[in-house]
A and B are shown apart, each in its own frame.
Chain A
Amino acid sequence: MPPDVPTTGNERLDKVTGRAVFASDITVPGMAHGRILRSPLPHAKIVKMDCTAALALEGVVAILSGEDLADLAQPYWGLYFNDRPVIAHEKVRYVGEPVALVVAETPAVAQAALDRIDIDYTPLPFIDNAGDAIAPDAPRLHGNLEAIADFYFKGQARPVSGTNIYQLYAISTGDTAAAEAEAARVFEHTYTFPGIAHYAMEPHCVTAAFEGDRLTVWSGAQSPTAVQKVLSRVFGLAYANVQVIVPHIGGGFGGKASVKIDPLVAAASWKAGRPVRVALTQEEAMLTCRRLGASITLTTAVDANGIILSKRAAILLDGGAYADTGPAVTVKAANRVIGPYAIKNLEIESRAAYTNTVPGSAFRSIGGPQAVWATESQMDEIAAALEIDPVDFRHRNLLPRGGKVLDSLRPLDADISEMMGHAGQAITSMGDRPAAGVAVAATDPGVLPLGGALVRLLADGSVLVMANSADIGQGVRDVLRNVAAKTLNQDPAAIRVAGPDTATTPFDWGTGASRSTVIIGLAVEDAAQDAREQLLALAASALEIPLDGVQLVPGGVATGSETIPFDRLFHTAFGIDSGEIVGRAMVTPSRKGSDFATSPLFWETAVGACDIALDEDTGALAVTRFAGVADIGHAINPAGAEGQEEGAAIQGLGHALYEHLAFIDGQPVNATPIGYRIPAAGDVPHAARTVLIENADGPGPMGAKGMGEGGLLPVAPAIANALARRYGIRLRDLPMTPEKIWRALRERDSDVP
């Protein structure tokens, strides 16, 4: 009789029945609530702050402000520079910056107390766009800051001293001047890309509880160990005394990566001597972080046969008030502007500058959408000018599988030509006309190969997988469950994947950069393999049979003649039917069997193709068909993988057509759910296809590559290319609103002789 296999429940059911616990659901005994007073000015000195009246309000527990910072071990923190105070200190640098945090018995009292805080500011000159930020006489946001090396990402930022530029990154190969001199044509265009809100369904929520020199934080954090690291510095605590617990997260997209409001909320608990919960509103989330806006000028030289000879790119990113992970965004924008093309001569300069706006930060494919928007738009512009079909023009210049985008990077591990073919077929399978617009992308995820897992096989045959990967709705727990199930030959239903808890789950860098399936997938695979080996050895010795005479079967071990459930095996081995086997693994850059020496560990590739319909009277555009193709090596969780591609494409639709976190005179003008438009169900193309290429050639378990970001990249340029091809208008500024389209149509019609 086969052993009974226990089941561990289904998290999807938990989510649809509302039982799943999200960061916002956490309550802690004795918990008080915090609300944040935010700066109304883009740049100002705080000259006076009087909290007397607020403190006098019944139910107010404490108020945290810049004055408290002197008592912290490290009052300023950051990932590349310690440029950000835990709470505004003497100065504010953007509208929305926290200046005081009221802790009270209820959120309503905390909110009411905010009005009673009396603050005087002296306005300072401000800059609300990157162009102004790099002007010679621009006001400075920060003094010259020391870059911290290898703190969160590898490497360090290279600020330009005496300026607002916090990162300058350059790539130079070959000789672009010579190439341009011999070129048949040289094309120069500038493309612009706005700041964009992450707009996760669940705004940031953190609950923090100080007890003496121990700090526990429940946070919707994508990078719990980064939160742990920063908190330990800010408060001078041992890592072991900072416990970060991550429940389910209602969407992240990078907006909850690295570290966000955790130091602020922890400081409130520290000040109040009580656990404190701070749940931001969507408006506040929009004032917490955003994608970096960009202006990108491309100068591309081609020969008479339509072969690209050289490319120059000048990238300027609007970094907002604090650097956050902007320096990494700057590097990736430079790498990602090249595209999967064979270009010998490159001259790329990428800069990010501080501005008095919401801090820029990581967002699904950092620097990718900005760079691909420019490059893939220009590819079509050049093709049109040369009167070459845009797909053909790409074929002429695409790198083959194994080709090199840059010498320093891993050879391309996908066949983009083949992917374009799939995209074209998918489009014609949904309607008669061929695709109107196409775009491709290959990006180099910044995957740090460092992360561990435990796989605990318990006596009843249920399995606990302990890993630090955060569930942000992407289905990572299904992936890890499937990997453990396969390696241990157990039923996936018997396996439970625990969420991150820095006190119990092994270190992992974080959930981002499309890395969890590969790195934590491998860690779980290795840990499960370790558990498997231990189990088989235990069985062989306890049952006194040779090692090759036992094998794992669901619920136990089989010896050929009989199947022994795990509890009986443990009984035989340990004397009682209890105990467990702990498999463990840590994936490091030198993992056996992996080639982690060159970056990226895999390429994240994407092709998008679309057809559109346009109301030429109004400029209203609808995407009628969309096809997305990604080479993901192997789909460990096929439904999840498809969902990621489609979700990314829909987010890309928002970037393309609707989204723009706008500032006028440093004031955010649409940072509310009413003013800010994201795609809704009705905006999604009715005909859509996702094609996943699976050649089992990735570095992850079963040949998987990371995925989930790429699908966003081709959407905007594919739509812009469709507009150019079908309607003769070229838009170079996102989003492509109906008004911009209408103006372009009018210009087109007035140009007609």
Chain B
Amino acid sequence: MYPSPFTYHRPASVEAAVALLAEFGDDAAPYAGGTELLLAMKMGFAQYDHLIDLKRLPTLRTIANEGEFLSIGALATHAEIAADPTVRDLLPPLAALCGEVANPRVRSSGTIGGNLCFAEPRADPPALLAGLDATLILRSTSGERAVPAASFITGALETVRAADELLVRIDILLSERRVRYERIVFGHRTVAGAVAALGAPGQPERIWVGGVATCPAPLPLTQSLLDAEPGAADARLHDAVTQDIAALDIADDEEASADYRRHLAATVALRAIAGCREELQR
């Protein structure tokens, strides 16, 4: 109901923000839209002595076409990404997803960075960004480092981000691949999501699923099959996807049983592949 008491900081620069993180470490949390953080604190799931409000750091919300990359500031909200002409132009599936997640209230304050750093197993962007070979740029007082989206999340609510690091932006490799993200949502929760990024000569095919296991996962057999045989028949695809998903660590929970979740994951993965292939045919 009430969060435990905390000190509120509003740094005026990214330097000041990372300095505060360096000072307080584990006792501090960056505060972006607060849509996850404040809820977790109010419900008593999380306690921090210091909140470092990022909202006054406009450089963290820029979205730019950097030629090779589409660069999205960590503080860009879902609504901003959904409405951004550059994203809509270069990566329509990301814009579409950001226009659909959650509800208007959450979209207008929840940020892409907050979504990634919270690492909620049911989140959509982590799998999509992993499938797009995105890179996350983390910054601390000792400088910046780049982490592939594919290895950023390590478990439920766990990432490789150190307590003194700020996620500043996400660089998404621009490629010729066709991208399709499919998800199944019950109520306000995604129960399975999958991205297929296919069909760019010389680039590996990517199929990732999210929302089913504790963190997003690639489907390696399916990827290799498509790498070797872009036109692989449906039955073989189905087998590969099913095998890949059987290898994932998926547990029963009060929302869905593991076998059902596996089925849903396979369903969305096949839908994403089919959607991508359709686009490639056009």
Contacts and interface: CB of A to CB of B under 8 A. Distances in A.
A672 B43 CA distance: 10
A670 B263 contact: no
Interface in B257-282: 257, 260, 263-264, 267
A672 B186 CA distance: 16
B1 A281 contact: yes
Nearest to B271: A617
For B187, B254, B267, the residue with the greatest tally of chain A CB atoms inside 10 Å of its CB is B187
Contact of A658 (B43, B187, B257, B264): B187
A436 to B, nearest CB: 22
Interface string A604-643: 0000000000000110100000000000000000000000
B254 A742 contact: no
A108 interface: yes
A16 interface: no
Nearest to A280: B1
Nearest to B184: A618
B270 to A, nearest CB: 9
Instruction: Classify chain A: how many residues form its interface, as a range.
Output: 20 to 34
Interface of A: 35, 107-108, 111-112, 281, 617-618, 620, 658, 662, 664, 669-670, 672, 674-675, 677, 680, 738-739, 742-743
A258 B70 CA distance: 60
For A35, A618, A662, the residue with the greatest tally of chain B CB atoms inside 10 Å of its CB is A618
Contacts of A672: 43
A671 to B, nearest CB: 11
B256 A618 contact: no
B254 A739 contact: no
Contacts of A620: 184, 186
A680 B105 CA distance: 14
A592 B186 CA distance: 55
A675 B43 CA distance: 13
A618 B39 CA distance: 30
Given A658-B187, A662-B254, A677-B187, A618 B2 contact: no
B187 A739 contact: no
Contacts of A111: 1-2
A738 B254 contact: no
B186 A738 contact: yes
B186 A680 contact: no
Contacts of B188: 677, 680
A620 to B, nearest CB: 7
A742 B263 contact: yes
Contacts, number: 34
A662 B188 CA distance: 19
Nearest first, the 3 A-B pairs at minimum CB distance are: A677-B187, A739-B260, A108-B2
B186 A617 contact: no
Contacts of A738: 186
A670 B254 contact: yes
A154 to B, nearest CB: 40
A311 B59 CA distance: 72
B146 to A, nearest CB: 34
Nearest to B39: A674
A445 to B, nearest CB: 32
A658 B188 CA distance: 12
Interface string B174-188: 000000000010111
Given A669-B254, A670-B254, A680 B263 contact: no
A618 B192 CA distance: 10
A680 B187 contact: yes
Interface in B209-265: 254, 256-257, 260, 263-264
Contact of A618 (B1, B43, B254, B267): B267
Contacts of A658: 187
Contacts of B186: 620, 677, 738
A613 to B, nearest CB: 15
A675 B260 contact: no
A677 B186 CA distance: 9
10 contacts: A108-B2, A112-B2, A617-B267, A658-B187, A664-B254, A670-B254, A674-B39, A677-B188, A739-B257, A742-B260
Nearest to A676: B187
Contacts of B43: 672
A677 B189 CA distance: 10
A738 B264 CA distance: 11
Nearest to B254: A669
B194 to A, nearest CB: 13
Contacts of B260: 739, 742-743
Nearest to A670: B254
Given A618-B184, A739-B256, 13 more contacts: A107-B2, A108-B2, A111-B2, A281-B1, A618-B267, A658-B187, A664-B254, A669-B254, A670-B254, A672-B43, A680-B187, A738-B186, A742-B263
A35 B184 CA distance: 39
B62 to A, nearest CB: 32
For A111, A670, A742, A743, the residue with the greatest tally of chain B CB atoms inside 10 Å of its CB is A742
A540 B53 CA distance: 75
A675 B39 CA distance: 13
A662 B253 CA distance: 12
Contacts of A670: 254
A739 B184 CA distance: 12
A739 B256 CA distance: 7
Nearest to B43: A672
Nearest to B257: A739
A444 B184 CA distance: 42
A101 to B, nearest CB: 14
Contacts of B187: 658, 677, 680
A560 to B, nearest CB: 61
Interface in B139-183: none
A116 to B, nearest CB: 13
B264 A675 contact: no
B235 to A, nearest CB: 16
